[in-house]
Amino acid sequence: MDTALDSGFDLPAEARRSGVRHYALGHLVAGGDGCAPRWTGRVDLGRNAVANRVGRLRALGGDAVPIFGGPGGRELAVACARPAALAAAYRRVAGAFGAEAVEFEVRDGADRAAVLRRARALRAVQQERPLRVVLTLRLGPGGLEPSDVTMLRLTRREGAEVATVNLLATVEPRAAGDGRLRRMAAAVRAARDQIARAHGLATPEEAWPRIALTPVLADAGDLSRADARTLAAYADRHGLAWLSLRGVNPIPDVSRILWSTSP
């Protein structure tokens, strides 16, 4: 959920309507001196109307996690060169949300200095409190970009624990014909092997529970109910961490089909 696009989005009402209970809220990027986490870089933590409804969502048994980075603004690890201040920013967000998890939509995987700063700051916070870290990365036809694989390896080397790699997978348009989901599955398998190597796992199969899959829709009709059932069966068969959706709203029932198989 991009909170800048729809400040009136009602998390608890949408959860009751759709059955979806878990959301990721974006996007927190650098504001002020570069070390201050702000929504879209402008809105202070406590002044986001969508995020302020998380308590009511949790009362329904759901949850929402904040997303750092994303399509606009500068990610904190890029803008903030002071390690202690960066760790304090992550700590502040986790505390303000009462968050057990945070998500990073990383678009600076080739920036080695930022990768190292982020990893060291997260290690410091994880040494103080349980905090699951999700890295959201673009999935290409051949899996992950080499720079993103290097980022995963460096993050592990620096002592930060990444619980889940969330793969953003663009859904091919319906006009692309048969094989759209098979091609997506092949890309996920390639990413699985890369993730297993980066995490130092003994076999590629051990990486499946560390992977989440987020199809990105450009058109509501590009993911049918049958497609959703196929994806749900795929996630269940391989034990994926979760299925999610981004982009335009899907046709009715698609979210519910995906949600029914997600933890």
- The per-residue pLDDT for 92 is 96
Distance of CA 47 to the CA centre of its chain: 22
Give the chain's domains with CATH numbers: 11-259 (3.20.20.80)
| Residue 196, H or E segment | helix 180-198
Question: Do 243 and 223 contact (CB within 8 A), yes or no?
Answer: no
What whole-number distance in Å separates Cα of residue 34 and Cα of residue 22?
29
Secondary structure (3-state) at 146: helix
Question: Residues for the chain: how many in total?
Answer: 263
- The per-residue pLDDT for 108 is 72
Query: Which of 94 and 108 is assigned the larger pLDDT?
Result: 94
Angle at 119 (CA atoms; ends 167, 107), nearest 5 degrees:
40
pLDDT in tens, 129-184: 999 999 999 999 999 999 999 999 999 999 999 999 999 999 999 888 889 999 99
Of the candidates 30, 50, 49, 52, the residue with the CA atom closest to the CA atom of residue 40: 30
- The per-residue pLDDT for 261 is 60
What whole-number distance in Å separates Cα of residue 187 and Cα of residue 165?
14
pTM for this model (two decimals): 0.94
Extract the tokens encoding 229.
Answer: 């059932």
pLDDT in tens, 46-92: 899 999 999 999 999 999 999 999 888 899 999 999 999 999 999 99
- The per-residue pLDDT for 129 is 94
Beta bridge partners of 169: 215
Which residue type is seen at 165? V
Q: How many CB atoms lie within 10 A of CB 99?
A: 19
pLDDT in tens, 1-58: 888 888 889 999 999 988 889 999 999 999 989 999 999 998 999 899 999 999 999 9
Is a pLDDT exceeding 70 seen at residue 239? yes
